[in-house]
Each structure stands twice: as C-alpha cells, then as structure tokens.
Structure 1
C-alpha cells in the first residue's frame, strides 16, 4: 500500500459520499479472510491498515489466562509477562505475524473491496434518488421488451412497466418517450428496481397538478379519481375559494388543459365534476354527462341511492357497457340505482297499487 491509495480513498469519500472509516473497516475485515485463506490459518487474528500510510499489519490475538489449554486462542500469564510485565489476566496479547508477501495480497483485496463499496454506494445513491420519486410522474424512454414487460430507460436505471400496469390503448415502440407513475422502488442486490404504471389513478392526479396551477397552489383540491385506464376517468374537484370554478380551472380555456392530459393518455376521456359534501349533489354530478333530475338516499348505512334521469338520457347515464354508472359508483362510493323518469313513475305506481 502507499500514499496514493490513501489519497484515492479520500477522493472516493468526497466524490462518492463513502465514509473512509467504513472503507478501512471493510478492507480490514476482507484482509482477515484473505490471510486465513492464503496462509491456512485458523488463528484469531486482526488486521490493521494505517490510515496515514496504508501499511498493513496482521496480529495474532490471544487471551491471557492462568494456564493456556489452546495455544491458538490463549497464552499463559507467565508467557505473556515475558512479552510485557504489564499484562494481566483477560488481557489480549497482540503478536505481529504479517507475512513477507502479504502486501501484494492486501493490495488486490483492498482494490476489490473499494470497487465493491463504490458500487454499493452508487446503488444506494440511485435508490435514494428514485425512492423520493415514488408516487410521482417520471419521464423515460422505451428501451426494450422482456416477457411482456416494457423496459423503460430512466437514465441512471432501467424501470419495469409490467403488463397489469400497461394501458390497453397504449402502443409501445422502442425509443418512444413515456410519462409513467412510479408505483414502487425496491432495493435489490444489483441496481434498484423501479416499478412503473400507466394505469394508476395517481398518474392522472399528477398530470393535473402539472397542468393546473390552481391544483398545484392548493386552491383547487382533487377529492377523488375513478379510472378505467385508457378508456375513461372521472375526477372530483373542489375549490377552496368561492370565486374559483374548480371544473373550469381543470378544463382550461377551450379545454386546453384537460386536452393535453387526454393526449398524453392516448384519448382517454376524462370527466371533471364538482365534489360536494352533500351525497345527493355529488352523486348527481358524478353521473355527468347525464343530468339527474332527482337523487334519493335509499339506505344511508348501506350507501344506496336512487338516481332518476330523463328518459332520453338513461343510456347516457349508464354508459357503454355500464361504464359511466360504474365509474360514478366507484368515485362516490355509493351503490347507484339509475332509473329513467318513466321507469321511476312505473315503479311508484306499482308500489301504490
């Protein structure tokens, strides 16, 4: 070892954020294994690397006892006091046993440890960077495809977009730029594993925060999102300032704000509705674009309501394959029985009879 090695360790501490004392301790631990492996030793040894010079010394350690029964682990008090009269029972005697050719082994071992620790530190830094991006949007580039997974290049790490998190309406091509939601960041023995989603409701939430200053500033709140990714979503919003229209803020002038999100999601329809603390009003709003003429709570405990819409809007309220009604129920957390005015009248007549 030499001074250049020590300077390299100090540089690593500065540039990579790896504590040099941790590096020295790791090197010393590795050198103990290297000594035992190369010199067929089962002795109790310790290795010290001088912090200033990089010089390496190996010491055999034995405990001072009255009568030694295992010379590998113990030394008698009488023999210990021949080395130094100051030794007492239970002290540890260090005897240097550094082999003449240990320097070459030490250099190789130290280099391997340093490289390993640098990699670990870099992985840790990358993990810390990306774990702070969890539950946020991230930009990446489609790199390749593996077993139906889309591998996305995020620059410092490759992320996985698994099949359940892919939108059915998306078409992924190598080299495409992609905005995704970071669902999870896991530590692994290699680089951190980043799991992405294009179907998570959080993707819409974050896109709205980026597009709508009123949401970013906290004037408009997103109260709930119900989503069938790639096809349709409903977003409930509320304004903390009476003069600010929450729906208008999200939609933007001539639909400019919401349209950019729709384009990012490949044409996914997004209904923005006004949230209300009154369940009847909120449920009525949630059935948009249909206009409910009456919403009645049937069972508050079971969260059941009946919504009546004009005859010509029944199919609109229910939606294609029940999608509008399904999303409204998911958004409001109420079971909604949707009837046309004619159906409601007929049911009421049947009850009267």
Structure 2
C-alpha cells in the first residue's frame, strides 16, 4: 500500500460516501486478523497504516510487569526500561514485527475489505432509499418467478411479491411492468429485502392519490378503504370544500380517473361512497349500490340494523356476503341486513310507523 492507494480511497469517499478513516480502520482490523492467521501469533498485536504515506506496520504489544508469566504477552520492567527508561509497570511496550512478505497479503486483504465495504455501503443506500418509501407505490419490471414468488426489478435492487400478496387470477409475465405497494423493507446480511403487495388496501389508496389531484391537495379526504383484492373495493371520501363533489372528483370526467385504476387492478370493481359523520347515513351509503329503507343504530354495541326492500336484499348482501362484508369493514360497524317483509314479521303492527324510508 502507498500514497496512490490512499488517493484511491479518497476518490471512493467522494463517489460512494464511505469515510477514508472508516475504511482504514476496517483494513487495519482485517490485516491484524490476517497476521495472526498466517503467522500463528498468540501475541497481542496492532496494525497501523500511516494516513499520509499509506505504509503499514505491525506491532506486538506487551504489558510491563515486575514478574513475567508469559513472555509473549508481558515484559519485565528491566527489559522495558532498556527500550525506554520512562516505562513503568502497567505500561504497554510496542515492538515492530512487520513480516517481510506481508505486503502481498496486505494488498489482497485491503482489496477484499474495500470491495466488501463498497457493497455494504451500496446496500445501505438502497435500504435507506426504500425504507423511507414504505407505504408508497413503485413501478417495477417482473424479473422471474420462483416457487410462486414473483421477483420484481426496482433499479439496482429487487422486490419480492409473495403468493399471499398476489391478486387472485393475475398473471405475471417476465418483462412486464407492474405497480406494487411497499409493505416492508428488511435489513438482511444479503442486503435489503423489499416486500411488496398487490392486494394491500394501501395500493388502492395510493393509486387514487396519483390519479386525483384533489386528494393530494387535501381538498378531498379519503376516510376509509375496504378491499377484497381482484373482486371489489369500497372507498369513503369527504370534501372539505362544499363546491367540490368528492365522489365526482374521484370518478373523474367521463369516469376516466376511476377507470384507469380499475384497468390497473385488472377489472376490480370499485364503489366510491360519500362519507357522512352521521353513522346511520354512512352505513346506508356503504351498502351501495343497494337502496336502503331505514337504519337502526346501537351506539354502544357498534351494531347497525339495515332495512332494504325485498328485491334489494340479495344486492345488499352481495355474492357470498361480499357487499355487506366490505360495508362493515369500511364503516367499522357490524351490519345486520333485513328485508321489509322480514321486518313486518318482527313488527307486524308497527312496521309502517317505525320504519318510514329515510334514504330514498
């Protein structure tokens, strides 16, 4: 090692942001290990690299003692003072023991350390970049499929789309571009592991934020998302400006905004509902496209009984209960759906008085 090597390290510091001092300390530690490994030394030792010239030296370290038990670790006061009269018991005496043929080992070790540190630095940069993007959307290219996992290229790294995060029936073709939602970034010995999703409700939320300027501007607020990926989703939106229709803003001119998202999600149906602070009205809206006659609310139990016309019952419940299930997720209320004829059986005399339609 020499001054040219130090200059290369300084260039590396500018390019990769790796401190020269950190590199040199790592090289010194690696050289010490190499010295002990190759020369079988049981002595305490230290490696020093001159920060100006790049020259390196290996020194043994012995403790000054009145009585010596291990000559490899200790030195008598008399012998120490022959080297320097100022030595006293407890001091450390260093003696240079740099092997003649240590240069080749040193050069090889230094190269390995630098390469390893560069790799670690690049991994840290990637980790920091993506750790700050958890909960965000990225666009990547499908690289390969292994054991049902889809590996997606994201520039200098790749993300993993696990089977549980894949949309039912969606095909992933090598080379195809795809939008995914970053759910977690883990630090591992092999570099950052980026876990992404196509099923997370956050993907739907971020897609709407990209398509609807009013959401990013804060005029329209997304109050809730309920999603069964690949099948159906419901969103509750609210406008802080009375002149802006939140549902219309999300649907877009001629339905283009919502249609772009439907296309991205391969035809997933999306219901956009106007949020209402009145829980009965919000629950009624959440069952869209079904029409609701009345809603009974039990605040403490967080239960809502919804009454619908007989011909709307199956629509309100949805296929395999999907519409009702999504409405419950969206509102946070347990929803019990009854038809008008079922309610007449429960309240044969009072039904017409108790449940006049509020939502027509």
CA distance in structure 2 between the aligned counterparts of 1:171 and 1:346, rounded to whole angstroms: 49
Report what 2:355 is aligned to.
none
Measure, in 2, the Cα distance between the counterparts of 1:134 and 1:319. 33
1:120-179 C-alpha deviation (Å, 9 max, x unpaired): 111111111111121100101111110011111112112111110000131111111100
Consecutive aligned runs of 4 or more in structure 1 exceeding 2 Å deviation: none
Task: State the secondary structure of the residue aligned to 2:62.
Answer: strand
1:221-300 aligned within 5 A? 221-297=221-297, 299-300=298-299
- Does 1:20 pair with 2:20? yes
Report deviation, 1:303: 1.3
Tell me the SS of whatever aligns to 1:343. helix
Within 5 A, what are the aligned runs for 1:131-280?
131-280=131-280
Unpaired runs of at least 5, structure 1: none
User: Contact between 1:219 and 1:241, CA under 8 Å: does it hold in 2?
Assistant: yes
TM-score, reference length from structure 2: 0.95
The reply to whether residue 43 of structure 1 matches residue 43 of structure 2 is: yes
How many angstroms apart in 2 are the aligned matches of 1:15 and 1:88?
47
How many corresponding residue pairs? Answer: 351
Instruction: Quote how far apart the aligned CAs of 1:301 are.
Output: 2.0
Cα distance in 1 for residues equivalent to 2:319 and 2:333: 20
Q: Distance in 2 between matches of 1:38 and 1:337?
A: 77
What is aligned with 1:326? 325
Q: Distance between the aligned counterparts of 1:181 and 1:122, measured in 2? A: 23
Partner of 1:66: 66
| 8 Å contact from structure 1 (residues 77, 87) kept in 2 | yes
Give the secondary-structure state (helix, strand or coil) at the position aligned to 1:192.
Answer: strand
Q: In the TM superposition, what whole-angstrom CA distance separates every residue of 1:236-288 from its partner, at most 9, and x where no partner exists? A: 11112222111111111111111100000000011010112211011011011
For residues 313-337 of structure 1, give each alpha carbon's deviation from its aligned partner in whole angstroms, at most 9, with x where no partner exists: 2121111121111100111111111
Deviation at 1:342, TM superposition (A): 2.1
Partners of 1:230 and 1:244 in 2: CA distance? 30
C-alpha RMSD over aligned residues: 1.3
SS class of match (1:187)? strand
Q: Does 1:317 align with 2:316?
A: yes
Please give the alpha-carbon distance, in whole angstroms, between the structure 2 residues aligned to 1:338 and 1:350: 20
Instruction: Tell me if the contact between 1:235 and 1:271 (Cα under 8 Å) persists in the aligned partners.
Output: yes
Q: In the aligned structure 1, how far is the partner of 2:31 from the partner of 2:299?
A: 71
Counterpart secondary structure, 1:75: strand
Alignment check: 8 A CA contact 1:157 1:191 kept: no
**Which residue of structure 2 lines up, in the alignment, with residue 55 of structure 1?**
55
Given that 1:161 and 1:196 are in contact with CA atoms closer than 8 Å, whether structure 2 keeps it comes out as: yes
> Which residue of the partner structure matches residue 116 of structure 2?
116
What displacement does 1:192 show?
1.1
In 2 relative to 1, CA 25–350 (structure 1 residues): closer, same or farther, beyond 3 Å? Answer: farther
**SS across alignment from 1:210:** helix
Q: What is aligned with 1:102?
A: 102
Gaps of 5+ in 2: 352-360
- Where 2:170 maps in the other structure, the secondary structure is coil
Do 1:151 and 1:158's aligned partners in 2 also have CA atoms closer than 8 Å?
Answer: yes
Give the distance between the partners of 2:191 and 2:33, measured in 1 at CA. Answer: 27
Task: Look up the match of 2:93.
Answer: 93
